Structure 1
């Protein structure tokens, strides 16, 4: 599983991972998180909602931001869907998805 990190550049959060993700996946992540701006509380709220929906629904639910939709398509998989032709839809593990949101929240809390 990739470990994600984020850095702020020109007002946007840029994503990188180890092992390295391809540019399309990084673009999907960056597009998904752009609407959070500097609001780590919004990310924490999304994580709470995600966990609650997992308990209530198992899978087959989604969360949307202004740029993309994260859809839980199976117990193990999240699909990040493009809304404005900025990237090709991508799939990642559900654990990786939660991990990257936690990493972004932690980075925001340290840097802002």
Structure 2
């Protein structure tokens, strides 16, 4: 799949979709709410598809770590904002470490 986004753009979009499906999973209340359930399933499928396309050109370990890092960071931040999850210095430090890790992998 040739994309104007390139492999890193596809990977970033896959990571954003991972955040969307993970938050929809939380909102689905154990798959008991139809709309968040559909968003979870479609978002996960699209995220995996884009990750697979990015893996055609990127090293697997790097791409997977960046994809999960984007997801973890996004869900942690938006979980605090949308679901009122707890925030503390350790969570902030963890998010900053994820950003540092993603940056290091991108530059490697």
TM-score normalized with structure 2 length: 0.37
> Highest CA radius of gyration, 1 or 2?
2
Structure with the higher fraction of residues in strand conformation: 1
Give the structure-1-normalised TM-score. Answer: 0.36
Q: Going by fraction, where is helix more abundant, 1 or 2?
A: 2
